[in-house]
Amino acid sequence: MSSADVEREALAAVDRYLVALNARNTEAIRDAFNFPHARIGARGTLVRYETPADYRFENFLNTVSADGWDHTKWDRTQVVFASQGKAHVAVDFTRYRKDGSAIGKYFSLYVVTNKDGHWGIQFGSGNGG
């Protein structure tokens, strides 16, 4: 697989995740991940989901509902490292309320992997919750 192919697959996985998140579709979010899946949030807390069944959208919603989160948009997605079977994708994004007002701008770094032919986000670290 070429470097361009790896980048394309990694960015597609990140985009699948955002579409699923905004649709509040737990199954589609799980499909955008590879497992075990882990995340380090803004407070340095590590959360790990061993299996797809361990991930619940409600966990994310609980972290953003106080701000009135409705949807998120990518401001920038960029592959900053790619090798066979793995890519690191930097994302800048904005969270919005239903009325279109911005809650805030955030940054994450996703490690996207190819496990058994499935490209998915396996690890994330950021300041967005």
pLDDT value of residue 66: 73
**Please, how many CA atoms are within 13 Å of residue 49, restricted to the half-sphere of its CB?**
20
Between strands 102-115 and 69-83, the pairing is: unpaired
Q: In the sheet that 69-83 helps form, which strands lie side by side, from edge to edge?
A: 46-49, 33-40, 118-126, 102-115, 86-97, 69-83
pLDDT digits (tens), the chain, 129 positions: 889 999 999 999 999 999 999 999 999 999 999 999 999 977 788 989 999 999 887 777 666 677 889 999 999 999 999 999 999 999 999 999 999 999 999 999 999 999 999 999 999 998 865
CATH architecture of the domain covering 3-126: Roll (3.10)
pLDDT value of residue 26: 94
Question: Where do the domains of the chain lie?
Answer: 3-126
pLDDT value of residue 62: 65
Sort 81 into a burial class: Cβ within 10 Å, 0-12 / 13-18 / 19+: middle
